[in-house]
Structure 1
Amino acid sequence: MLMQLSEDLGGYAYDIFVTKFDGWLVFGILAQVVFGARFILQWLASEKAGRSVMPLSFWFLSIAGGLMTLVYGLVRREPVIIFGQALSTGIYLRNVALILKEERRKPGADSVP
């Protein structure tokens, strides 16, 4: 039974990473790396500040990774990815808009040094 499970998992991995290997798979993996990098960035920024922070660059990586993953989903015709990334990317864009709006409201934001 264990031997059969091992063979099944090996065949599954072979099918995903060898049989279906193409440039779009590389693009999709790169999209996930960009998307995942936002968590490393957020963690490092929080460690530096000594508290939990969400830097603006987190949202830019979210947008870049989300759009890349959305393109991947569109090319691969994956409705779960398309739906999830279209909705999420809209939320990331809205967060950036809210942050920029708040920055413009701060005293001295319009002054030229």
Structure 2
Amino acid sequence: MNQEWMSVLSDPWAVVGLVGQLLFFSRWIVQWAASERIKSSHVPLSFWIISLVGGTLVLIYAIKIHNLVFVLGQLVGVANYSRNIVLIKRARRQVSET
């Protein structure tokens, strides 16, 4: 591994950002597997939770490096992922009450 990559991995904040990006990337695998399981397009709750965790880590990193472009983009995403989690949980609660 070259020196530039090693220096990134030795920076704890860069590792936070990298882990966030890897988590965020991995969410499509979860969605794909869930859809294949039921043979229809499906976005499970776990997709949104992974999105929220990954997006939050990237947001923290963006704040740390003072990158307004990434901060604004991640804020919108984190709000969206949070809202979807709330909507799914609310719908599940309503179904269980009936």
Place the TM-score, normalised by the shorter chain, in its bin.
Answer: 0.7 to 0.9
- 2:57 counterpart residue number: 68
Higher Cα Rg, which structure: 1
Which amino acid in 1 is paired with 2:97? D
State the aligned residue count: 95
Deviations 1:72-108 (A, max 9, x none): 00001111110000111001111111111111221xx
* TM-align CA RMSD: 1.8
C-alpha distance in 2, partners of 1:105/1:25? Answer: 41
List structure 1 segments (4+ residues) > 3 angstroms apart after TM superposition. none
- Whether 2:97 is the aligned partner of 1:110: answer yes
Unaligned runs of 5+ in 2: none
The correspondence of residues 55-94 of structure 1 with structure 2, limited to 5 A, is 55-94=44-83
- Output the CA distance in 2 between the equivalents of 1:110 and 1:70: 36
TM-score, with structure 1 as normaliser:
0.76
- The answer to whether structure 1 residue 28 and structure 2 residue 13 are counterparts is no
Instruction: After TM superposition, give the deviation of residue 68 of structure 1 in Å.
Output: 0.4
Deviations 1:8-28 (A, max 9, x none): xxxxx976x35x622222221
